[in-house]
Structure 1
Amino acid sequence: MEFSDLLVILLITAGATKAAAFFVAQARDMSRPEKLTVVTRALAIQAVVLGIFALRGENILDFFHVSVAALEVAGGLVLLLFALQLVLGEDHGDEHGAPPGVSMAVYPLGMPLLASPQSIVAVTIASTRINESGGSTGPLWLALAIVLGLNAAILYGIVFLGGRKQRTEGGFSVAPVLLRVVALLLCALAIEIMALGLRGYGVLPPMPAAQPQASAAH
């Protein structure tokens, strides 16, 4: 796999777009130190998880006798359940008295939004193919470092440039609307991930190939 291919795949699967939208909506009433704690821990979780699977993803799956298709189905299901909770408006407050943002940094910001199921699958497949072909894993690690750096720039930029919005009684906030829209898109993404896994098992047929426009015209 070329470096450009790896970079594009990781930007799509491990980029911070969905996580940033969620963070803007959910962390609007946190102080700056709390936001910094959440972002730092979430980015560390993504780096550790993706680093482990880039290094030993194939061995991990083999040890637990798990296929890539099973990982896609399980990861998609977890993402779907989380997204449905957001769409239905269920409260994600911590019930055990943990400091604000601690639980958010692990779930859902660290996983499954930053270290997403599709990003884990992507780095596992990429490292497996590179090892099978006898190539160097340098481009994979470089692409991963670039994506993690961009994610850090985006999330830390939100912390330092976003400011703190004061809560107003009876006022309208766009954050809940944004959160519902992102959650709906996450539901669709989760279905796509599960469908990929089910196709790997042969439960669903392959997607039909796109028909050329020329043949469609005739």
Structure 2
Amino acid sequence: MNELLAVFIFFFAVIDPIGTVPVFIAVTRGHDEKFKRKVILKAVAVSVLVLLFFVVAGELLLNAINIPLSAFQIAGGIVLLLFALSMIFGESKPESEIKSLPNSTETAIFPLAIPSIASPGAMLGAVLMTRNTEYSWVEQLITSSMMIAVLGVVLVLLLLAAQVHKLIGDSGASIISRIMGLILSSVAVTNILNGIAHYFGLQVFT
């Protein structure tokens, strides 16, 4: 049970559902409810497909180009750490992604699905949390289920975006995003240490 909770919290941190709410409000401002609902469903569906692709094919791609998983784990941990630090010390997720709004109707894809929901950190996390050398297919299925559960939270929060934003405001979303960054930085350091341990055949950190 604790492991399931840990996986859920990990994906909650890298996907950051609450931080997506201000981004969604910004990209759909001025549109009717039918349009907003269409954007939500499309964005979440695309995010599910993208992240499941990395669960299924991420490690296969690494093996195809002869990159050791331990090396990817270290590199992925470093990238996750930088991503987390940017959440803590830089602009928060809502602030940075609202600035990148395109003049396009494809807002469901960019910036909402990618990089707001299926962020680079989430893509890396999907690979790192479903390594074939460490996890059975049952464990990978459970991990994928937790990831999809977080995306379900994203779906619910976006459908209730107006109420959520009214409750927490931009400042609240920024604070929560930074807290998620702190949690994510701890996970990233653990991944780096485990990658080093795997490479040198040392004890794995848990």
Cα 1:35–1:79 change in 2 (3 A) is farther
| Pair 1:85-2:91 in alignment | yes
Higher share in helix: 2
Q: Taking structure 2 as the reference length, what is the TM-score of the superposition? A: 0.65
Give 1:92's aligned amino acid: I
Root mean square deviation, CA, Å: 3.9
Give 1:155's aligned amino acid: V
Q: How does 1:14-53 map to 2 (within 5 A)?
A: 14-15=11-12, 19-28=16-25, 30=28, 31=31, 32-53=33-54
Q: Taking structure 1 as the reference length, what is the TM-score of the superposition? A: 0.62
1:55 is matched with: 56
Work out the CA distance in 1 between the residues paired with 2:19 and 2:128: 22
1:158 is matched with: 157
Deviations 1:48-93 (A, max 9, x none): 3432343344332333424311111123323433552228955733
Q: Which runs of 5+ in 1 are unaligned?
A: 167-171, 210-218
Cα 1:33–1:17 change in 2 (3 A) is farther
Is the contact between residue 25 and residue 178 of structure 1 (CA under 8 Å) also seen in structure 2? no
Give the deviation of 1:192 after TM superposition.
2.2
2:182 is matched with: 188
Cα 1:76–1:45 change in 2 (3 A) is farther
Q: Larger C-alpha radius of gyration, 1 or 2? A: 1
Cα 1:97–1:71 change in 2 (3 A) is same
Q: Which runs of 5+ in 2 are unaligned?
A: none
Give 2:153's aligned amino acid: I
Percent identical across equivalent pairs?
Answer: 12
Is the contact between residue 16 and residue 154 of structure 1 (CA under 8 Å) also seen in structure 2? no
Give the deviation of 1:118 after TM superposition.
3.2
Q: Secondary structure at the match of 1:129?
A: coil
Is the contact between residue 10 and residue 184 of structure 2 (CA under 8 Å) also seen in structure 1? no
Is the contact between residue 76 and residue 190 of structure 1 (CA under 8 Å) also seen in structure 2? yes
Cα 1:46–1:141 change in 2 (3 A) is farther
Work out the CA distance in 1 between the residues paired with 2:11 and 2:5: 10
1:71 to 76, 86, 102: 76
2:127 to 120, 126, 135: 120
Give the deviation of 1:21 after TM superposition.
0.9
Deviations 1:107-163 (A, max 9, x none): 1222146x354343112x2x3224xxxx5x245325523641x33543333344455
